[in-house]
């Protein structure tokens, strides 16, 4: 961490915003080892490997999630460094192809130049990295995991490779240890569905934003009736990870109740399928895909219908990832 972080955080316990810093080890980049003390309540927050821990006493759900991810990670080796540098582009693996497609799409839709970004559930921080490379002026990757190759410590690879800087901190999306009205963008990819209380997490994001700021949610699964049992046999759940699939209504409600104005977009993954992979559309939507969506897609008006008024209905029918932008009023 760098001292500038103190202008962006609050104490997760008393919510006050003044800290004392003790520095034990620094390098040319940042404070690597040390401690923050809340000037109001006296709580202490260690800094280890440059990462400040603003999540004292994680609850059982978070502890289970931490253990589950660590189990799934298994053995690692430094050969993974190259893979990390390629993320989110990672071979032919379907999940990553979809994640990368939606991420690239959002990087085109949103201008990150000069923006202060909070990347929640950043995990390895590949997304934080790319937002900084796209011109974000200040960025924090926040997660509950630290382990290299799955959690925040992975960020060191990017900071060294690109000679860039962003902060990493341990924190809970349901109790964000950040100053209100501080960020231009609060971002999540594939993370909101890891809480049992998405309304609270979206409210936390909204509070962190300046007026006019933007919540970005991508790659969240949306429950469609055709794939009701999508979580059956989910390996993450077997490892104690908190996986949920919310409906579009629940995502929209969470945004509206947080005072945001949400806008949803046709998943670029589904758009690609409509353009080049009709079999996948039929697999996803059944007859609706075969007899309505594919024929409609041939016409520009049909494309507008599918990406506009029909979209909430399509989310109701079939699973497809969420792409949502939700604006805080000026
Ligand atoms: C599916 S992973 C996505 C990680 C990363 N965004 C990516 O796309 O590679 C979900 C992430 O949510 C994080 N997470 C789970 N519960 C959390 C919580 N309460 N607060 C913050 N992050 C959490 C997990 O540690 C994990 O890194
Ligand atoms: Zn405090």
CB of 121 closer than 8 Å to CB of 190: yes
Separation of CA 10 and ligand 2 centre (Å): 8
Cα(204)–Cα(208) distance, integer angstroms: 6
The topology (CATH level 3) of 1-50 is N-terminal domain of TfIIb (2.20.25)
Ligand 1, atom 4, residue with closest C-alpha: 123
Task: Return the SS3 of 267.
Answer: coil
pLDDT band at 290 (very low <50, low <70, confident <90, very high): very high
Evaluate: CB of 189 within 6 angstroms of ligand 1: yes
- The 10s digit of each residue's pLDDT in 40-96 is 999 999 999 999 999 999 999 999 999 999 998 888 999 999 999 999 998 888 889
CATH of the domain spanning 55-264+321-327: 3.40.50.150
Q: What is the pLDDT of residue 91?
A: 80
Residue 99 Cα to ligand 1 middle (Å): 14
Token pair recorded at residue 313: 């209905």
Shortest-distance ligand to the CA of residue 10: 2
Average pLDDT over residues 219-241: 86
Q: Is the pLDDT confidence value at 232 over 90?
A: no
Residue 294, SS3 per DSSP:
helix
Q: Which residues have CB under 8 Å from 60's CB, separation 6+? A: none
Would strands 138-143 and 116-120 be described as parallel, antiparallel, or unpaired?
Answer: parallel
Domain boundaries, the chain: 1-50, 55-264+321-327, 267-307
Rounded to the nearest 10 degrees, the angle between the axes of helix 248-257 and helix 198-208 is 40
| Ligand 1 atom nearest residue 87's Cα | 9
- Checking if the pLDDT of 282 tops 80, the result is yes
Of 44-48, 114-118, 316-320, the poorest mean pLDDT is in 316-320
pLDDT at 25: 98
Q: Residue 97 has what pLDDT? A: 93
Is residue 114 over pLDDT 90? yes
Ligand 1 atom closest to the CA of 150, numbered from 1: 27
Q: Which ligand is nearest to the CA of 88?
A: 1
Reported confidence tier of residue 30, pLDDT bands at 50, 70, 90:
very high
**Nearest residue by C-alpha to atom 24 in ligand 1:** 121
∠ Cα 324 184 155 (to 5°): 85
Q: Which residues pair with 170 in a beta bridge?
A: 53, 143
Q: Is 215 left (phi over 0), alpha (psi -120 to 50) or beta?
A: beta
Q: Which atom of ligand 1 is nearest to the CA of 145?
A: 25
Instruction: Kindly state if the Cβ of 34 falls inside 6 Å of ligand 1.
Output: no
User: Which helix (H) or strand (E) segment is 270 a member of?
Assistant: helix 268-276
How many Cα neighbours within 13 Å face the side chain of 132?
Answer: 21
If you take atom 16 of ligand 1, which residue's CA is the nearest one? 194
Q: Which value, in Å, is the radius of gyration of the alpha carbons in the chain?
A: 20
Average pLDDT over residues 164-172: 98
**In this predicted model, what pLDDT tens digit does every residue of 146-156 receive, in sequence order?**
999 999 999 99
Counting from 1 in the atom list of ligand 1, the atom nearest the Cα of 241 is: 15
Give the pLDDT score at 173.
98
Provide, rounded to the nearest whole percent, the portion of the chain with pLDDT above 90.
Answer: 90
The whole-chain average pLDDT of the chain stands at 96
**For ion ligand 2, residues whose CB falls within 5 Å:** 11, 13-14, 38, 40-41, 43
Question: What is the predicted pLDDT for the residue at 17?
Answer: 97
Residue 226: the pLDDT is: 84
Ligand 1 close to Cβ of residue 173 (< 6 A): yes
């Amino acid at each position: 961490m760098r001292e500038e972080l103190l202008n962006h955080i609050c104490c997760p316990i008393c919510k006050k915003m003044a800290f004392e810093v003790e520095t034990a080890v620094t390098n040319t980049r940042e404070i690597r080892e040390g401690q923050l003390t809340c000037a109001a309540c006296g709580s202490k927050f260690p800094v280890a490997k440059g990462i400040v821990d603003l999540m004292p006493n994680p609850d059982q759900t978070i502890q289970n999630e931490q253990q589950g991810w660590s189990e799934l990670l298994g053995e690692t080796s430094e050969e993974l460094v190259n893979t990390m540098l390629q993320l989110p582009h990672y071979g032919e693996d379907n999940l990553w192809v979809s994640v990368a497609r939606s991420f690239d799409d959002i990087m085109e839709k949103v201008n990150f130049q000069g923006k202060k970004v909070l990347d929640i559930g950043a995990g390895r921080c590949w997304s934080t990295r790319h937002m900084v490379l796209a011109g974000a002026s200040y960025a924090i990757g926040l997660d509950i995991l630290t382990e290299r190759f799955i959690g925040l410590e992975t960020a060191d690879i990017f900071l060294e490779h690109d000679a860039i800087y962003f902060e990493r901190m341990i924190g809970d999306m349901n109790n964000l240890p950040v100053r209100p009205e501080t960020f231009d963008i609060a971002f999540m990819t594939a993370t909101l569905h890891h809480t049992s209380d998405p309304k609270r997490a979206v409210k936390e994001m909204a509070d962190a934003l300046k007026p006019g700021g933007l919540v970005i949610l991508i790659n969240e699964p949306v429950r469609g009736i055709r794939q009701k049992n999508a979580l059956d046999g989910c390996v993450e759940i077997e490892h104690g990870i908190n996986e949920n699939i919310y409906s579009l209504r629940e995502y929209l409600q969470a945004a509206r109740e947080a005072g945001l104005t949400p806008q949803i977009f046709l998943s670029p993954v589904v758009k690609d399928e409509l353009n080049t992979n009709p079999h996948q559309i039929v697999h996803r939507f059944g007859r609706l895909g075969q007899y309505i969506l594919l024929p409609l897609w041939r016409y520009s008006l049909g494309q507008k219908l599918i990406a506009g008024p029909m979209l909430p209905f399509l989310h109701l029918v079939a699973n497809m990832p969420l792409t949502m932008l939700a604006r805080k009023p000026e």
